[in-house]
Amino acid sequence: MAHSEKSTVTRTVAKEAPGSKTAGTGRRAAGRKAARATTPEERHGLIAEAAYLIAEQRGFQGEAALDDWLQAEAEIDMRLFGSP
């Protein structure tokens, strides 16, 4: 007879300190806070890495470096700053 086990996954959520500026604002505020903490140099590095991965996925074929960069820039900015 087969024996199956159920596993329970719990999620821990950090609590905001009472009176903090981001208390009760959820993920959106955390995303904006992260965006302000990112320097232009860090953003550039993130874009460069993402562009490389995009080029790698397409096998580095063709002359699409600018397209790869622009796609990566849009993806990173969306992650850092939210909706365009």
Quote the strand ranges of 1-84, DSSP E: none
Please, how many CA atoms are within 13 Å of residue 65, restricted to the half-sphere of its CB?
2
46, two tokens: 């993130």
Rounded to the nearest 10°, the torsion over CA 75, 41, 81, 51 is 0
Q: What pTM value is reported for the model? A: 0.56
61, two tokens: 């074929």
DSSP 19: T
Mind listing the pLDDT tens digit of every residue in the chain (84 residues)?
Answer: 555 444 444 444 444 444 544 444 444 544 455 446 899 999 999 999 999 999 999 999 989 999 999 999 999 999 999 866
59, two tokens: 């096998």
